[in-house]
Amino acid sequence: MKNQQLEKNKSIKIIFLSALIITIYFNTQIQDAFNSPKFWALILSTAVLLADLIMNGRNFSRSENKFVFYLLIFLLIYLIVMLISTVFAYNPQVALLGETFRRNGIVTSFGLAVFLLAATIHVKFNNILVAFKIIFLTGFLVGAYSLIQITGNDWNTWSDTNSIISTLGNSNFSGAVMAILSIILFGQLFLKSFGKIYKTSLFVTLIILVYSIYETKALQALLILAIGIGLQILFLIYKKNNYAGILFFFAGTMGAFLAILGMLQKGPFQSFLYKDSVSVRGYYWRAGFEMFKDHLWFGVGIDNYGYFFKEYREVGYPLNYGFNITSSNAHNVFIQYFATGGLIVGVMYLLLQLLIAYKAVQILKNNNGEKRFIALMIVSAWLAFQAQSIISIDNIGISIWGWILGGVIFGLSLEDRLSAVVKNKREVIDIRKSILSLFTLSVAMFLVVPLYIVDRATWLSRTYYVPGNIEVKNKFDDYSSRVLTSNFAVNDYKNIALTSVIAYGDKAKAIVELQKILEDDYRNLDSLNLLASIYEESGDFIKAITIRNKMAEFDPWNAVNYVGLAQLYKLTNQIEEMDSVVTKIMSFAGNDPIAEVVKKEFMS
């Protein structure tokens, strides 16, 4: 039994240390400094955990483990439907590996499902303190780096030096992660199992995290922090005095209601809490709903939202935020799954969250004393994750905690009888597990290494773009060619390389490469725009007109593209077509400043 417990603790360390690495790891020497490294770390850690799960597979069908068996079947069906969605996806490569600067494809979903299942099997009340210590370390590292940024001592140079992006690359993401970690750290202050020195360190780290969250200016992070810590305070107050607890509950509920109204630009706190980013989410959500309605069963393709947003966005979005501004995510995890995965994927994800919520209620009802408070810590942090997922993106650095916490809730709801080893066969299984882990890691490396090479090459191609320097030009040609010829390079990376190729004057090469991209990725507006620009500069206006008309199909409210199209019709003396385009522009952008350009250029 002691050996089994040691094995469980080892597995817990792997789960939570992996989450720590995924949360804090970034690399400034590649194209995508934050999302790609976290994606690679997820793949490699998934490979290790997968070997452990395979070795435990014989235990899943035992009568006492039926829940885990059914959960495994559920997750397999969920992933299989995702794969079917990939067959129908507009861009299958993106569906598998994820969109640039998001990386939320099926590979990521598979990894998150493995983490959930591993946490379900291994995390129990009698070993959860191991996880808490690693969560504390994660919070300390994320908070410490945030403090370094706040004080202006960051050794890295970021494009936005005023944002507290910590190790997540975005102030909203960093605020959300720090809030989730803070909720669990706060609860640890009240556990008898920890000593004064540890709790003092907790308290200091918690202060750093809360201060950093405030400095991110992320309102959703402050709100979910208040929800999570508020639930724990409510429990502690109610435990001391029932009436005081009830009063605190109603006061907290009213405060939360007024806060939500304020964020929605209503109520007495709107001047403090409303941000324009709340309103813009409505456009993302409605576009997602429209995608779902038109692609009911399998969606537009996992993580393919960005390819369809401009087609489905309402006209108010470009008029308010810019004609060329886009979005690659619905900014609501549930809508994102319905829009990109379709009805079955969306419903199954929703059912999974409802099942976790049901098990959360169970563990709160079925436990007392410190166990109940530990359960509340996990549940409140999971609820905070769910709250932020309603208005934010399923960033890997955040999602890893939501899925692990869901698995912990499942694990705490089960009796501690899921053994990671088989009696009298420990040494044999350890050898088999080591061999299997080596195999799964090797397979993972076959995916991670070429992805790293492409990300690195894309970054280096930008670094070596120095017009006029022949020696540097040779290096640029080398790295840009690696990007353009790699099967692992997403088309967005190819467009980045081709932008510099065009700037160097090699337009013939750029045309060939862009046409290759557009053979399969015909919706790629960046590729279409680059190709149109080349034709326009070369004087091939007829081809440019064809390209800009294609762009109008997938981006029907882009007045900038229509102005370019009108100019082309004017240059080719197609006055009737020009007038038709001008009428189109004025029909929806008549009050926009671009209308003055149109009047002067085409109507004077």
Residue 243 covered by a domain: yes
Residues 218-236: what's their mean pLDDT? 90
**Is residue 42 in some structural domain?**
yes
Question: Domain check: are 462 and 429 in the same one?
Answer: no
What contacts 70, CB < 8 A, 6 or more positions away? none
Give pTM, 2 decimals: 0.93
Residue at 447 is within a domain: no
Residue 272 clears pLDDT 60, i.e. is over it? no
pLDDT at 53 over 90: no
Note the pLDDT of residue 246: 64
106 and 27 share a domain? yes
Tell me the pLDDT band of 69, cut-offs 50, 70 and 90: confident
**Which residue, of 386, 403, 436, is where some domain finishes?**
436
pLDDT cut 70: percent of the chain above it: 88
Least confident residue range of 55-64, 215-224, 387-396: 55-64
Residue 460 reports pLDDT greater than 90: yes
| pLDDT greater than 70 at residue 113 | yes
Tokens 């996992």 map to which residue? 302
* Residue type at position 353: Q
The answer to whether residue 253 is domain-embedded is yes
pLDDT confidence of residue 250 = 62
pLDDT tens column, 8-32: 578 899 999 999 999 999 999 999 9
Write the DSSP symbol of residue 304.
-
Predicted confidence band of residue 275 (pLDDT cuts 50, 70, 90): low
Q: What is the chain's mean pLDDT, rounded?
A: 89
Question: Could you read off the pLDDT of 396-424 as tens digits, one per residue?
Answer: 999 999 999 999 999 999 864 444 433 44
Sequence-separated (6 or more) residues with CB below 8 Å from residue 579: 602
CA pair distance 105, 304, nearest whole angstrom: 9
Asked if residue 78 and residue 32 are part of one domain, the reply reads: yes
Q: Are residues 432 and 314 in the same domain?
A: yes
Supply 602's token pair. Answer: 């085409």
pLDDT of res. 436: 86
**Does residue 273 lie within any of the structural domains?**
yes
Name the residue among 494, 417, 503, 429 with its Cα closest to residue 466.
Answer: 503
Query: Domain range spanning residue 281?
Result: 2-436
pLDDT band (50, 70, 90) for residue 161: confident
Q: Are residues 235 and 95 in the same domain?
A: yes
The DSSP-derived string for 54-76 is: HHTGGGTTSGGGHHHHHHHHHHH
* Domain count across the chain: 2
Q: pLDDT-based confidence at 162, cuts 50/70/90?
A: confident
pLDDT band for position 101 (cuts 50, 70, 90): confident
Q: With contact defined as beta carbons under 8 Å apart, do 458 and 62 qualify?
A: no
- 288-301 burial: b if 16+ Cβ within 10 Å, else e: bbbbbeebeebbbb
What is the structure's pLDDT at 428? Answer: 47
Is there a contact between 16 and 131 (Cβ–Cβ < 8 Å)? Answer: yes
Q: 428 with 466, same domain?
A: no
Same domain, 374 and 486: no
Q: Is the pLDDT of residue 256 over 80?
A: no
**Cα dihedral: 596, 598, 601, 603 (round 10):** -100
Are 395 and 429 within 8 A, CB to CB?
no
Residue 444 within a domain: no
Over range 462-482, report the average pLDDT.
87
Q: Is the same domain home to 336 and 458?
A: no
Say which residue, 408 or 261, is predicted with more confidence. 408
Question: Can you read off the two tokens belonging to residue 514?
Answer: 């862009």
The answer on 60 and 29 residing in a single domain is: yes
Q: What is the mean pLDDT of residues 205-211?
A: 97
Predicted pLDDT of residue 23: 98
Indicate whether 248 pLDDT > 50: yes
pLDDT band at residue 219 under the 50/70/90 scheme: confident
**Inside any domain, residue 446:** no
* Per-residue pLDDT at 418: 47
Residue 443 inside a domain? The answer is no
Among 390, 405, 436, residue at a domain's last position? 436
CATH number, domain of 469, equals 1.25.40.10
Same domain, 351 and 400: yes
Residue that is last in its domain, among 386, 411, 436 = 436
Question: Residue 469, Cβ neighbours under 10 Å: how many?
Answer: 12
pLDDT at 72 over 80: yes
Kindly state the helix (H) or strand (E) to which residue 34 belongs, with its residue range: none
The pLDDT of 171-183, averaged and rounded, is 96
| Residues 557, 314: Cα–Cα separation, whole Å | 8
Rounded CA-CA distance 35/4 in Å is 36
**What local confidence, expressed as pLDDT, does residue 437 receive?**
86
pLDDT digits (tens, 9 = 90+) for 543-569: 999 999 999 999 999 999 999 999 999
Residues 466 and 426 in one domain: no
| 178 and 263 co-located in one domain | yes
Tokens 């993302």 sit at which residue?
284
- pLDDT over threshold 80, residue 33: yes
295, 564 in Cβ contact below 8 A?
no
- DSSP single-letter state for residue 522: T
